[in-house]
């Protein structure tokens, strides 16, 4: 049985990839399936929270009891996240947000040209850094770090630079975990603790992550 550790709390989670349009039929994206973020949303409901799930395009059913807000681009996700964060007790950024988008989205389908094509990309807003920077009604802010090398160093760098309260680091270079897998392993870094969670199903892992967050709230 799961304890109602988050009764009366509001939890907002981002999940899945973002899609950055190039033209009406093409986009830049990544391999996030949404499974990790959706598992966190279900775990939040199981622990008694009111849960908002801001979701990029994924092929998953909405967990029972969750309010889902669909978005495509990082800019849309940013807008919804900043709208919901101030009324949330906890914000978890599990989405794999594109760091860059096309400087211009072509209005018509781009025509095949010469042998090379150069795209100009511009930086997207950093959603979780903007949530963590809220001066009023700032939620407890938890990020994820997807790394392929020096996992602890890069994750702790993101914890500090984005001014987060906690970061959940996954090594996405290991087969059978991370992007699009049913399983994952994480190390949770906060400013005063480190907790490693071994490889397991994302739904079980999500309960452990939410429990770790709930412990920090009190």
Give 3-state DSSP helix, strand, coil % of the chain, rounded to 5. 25, 30, 45
Binding flag, residue 139, ligand PMT (CB under 6 A): no
Residue from 67, 161, 180, 215 binding ligand PMT (CB under 6 A): 180
Q: Does 51 bind ligand PMT (CB under 6 A)?
A: no
Q: Is 85 in the site for ligand PMT (CB under 6 A)?
A: no
- How many angstroms separate the CA atoms of 177 and 189, rounded? 19
125 known member of a binding site: yes
How many other C-beta atoms can be found within 10 angstroms of the C-beta atom of residue 136?
5
According to the binding rule CB under 6 A, does residue 34 interact with ligand PMT? yes
CB atoms within 10 A of CB 45: 19
Helix and strand totals (H; E) in the chain: 5, 12
Tell me which of 32, 50, 52, 187 binds ligand PMT, using CB under 6 A.
32
| 180 among known catalytic residues | no
- What is the gyration radius of the CA atoms in the chain, in angstroms? 17
Q: Determine whether the annotation assigns residue 61 to a binding site.
A: no
53 sits near ligand PMT (criterion: CB under 6 A): no
Q: Which residues in this chain contact ligand PMT in the complex, by CB under 6 A?
A: 14, 16, 32-36, 74, 93-97, 99, 124, 126-128, 143-146, 158, 170, 172, 178-180
| Active centre residues (catalytic) | 30
């Amino acid at each position: 049985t799961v304890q109602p550790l988050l009764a009366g709390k509001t939890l907002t989670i981002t999940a899945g990839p973002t899609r950055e349009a190039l033209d009406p039929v093409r986009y830049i994206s990544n391999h996030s399936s949404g499974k990790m973020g959706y598992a966190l949303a279900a775990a939040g409901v199981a622990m008694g929270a009111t849960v908002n799930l801001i979701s990029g395009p994924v092929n998953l059913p909405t967990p029972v009891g969750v309010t889902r807000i669909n978005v495509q681009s990082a800019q849309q996700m940013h807008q919804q996240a900043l709208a919901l964060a101030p009324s949330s007790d906890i914000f978890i950024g599990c989405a794999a947000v594109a760091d860059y988008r096309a400087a211009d989205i072509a209005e018509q389908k781009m025509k095949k040209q010469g042998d090379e094509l150069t795209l100009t990309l511009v930086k997207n807003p950093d959603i979780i850094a903007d949530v963590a920077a809220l001066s009023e009604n700032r939620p407890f802010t938890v990020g994820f770090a997807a790394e392929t090398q020096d996992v602890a160093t890069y994750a702790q760098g993101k914890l500090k630079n984005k001014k987060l309260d906690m970061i959940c680091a996954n090594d996405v270079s290991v087969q059978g975990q991370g992007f699009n897998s049913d399983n994952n392993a994480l190390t949770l870094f906060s400013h005063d603790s480190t907790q490693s969670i071994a490889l397991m199903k994302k739904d079980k892992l999500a309960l452990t992550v939410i429990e770790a967050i709930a412990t920090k709230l009190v």
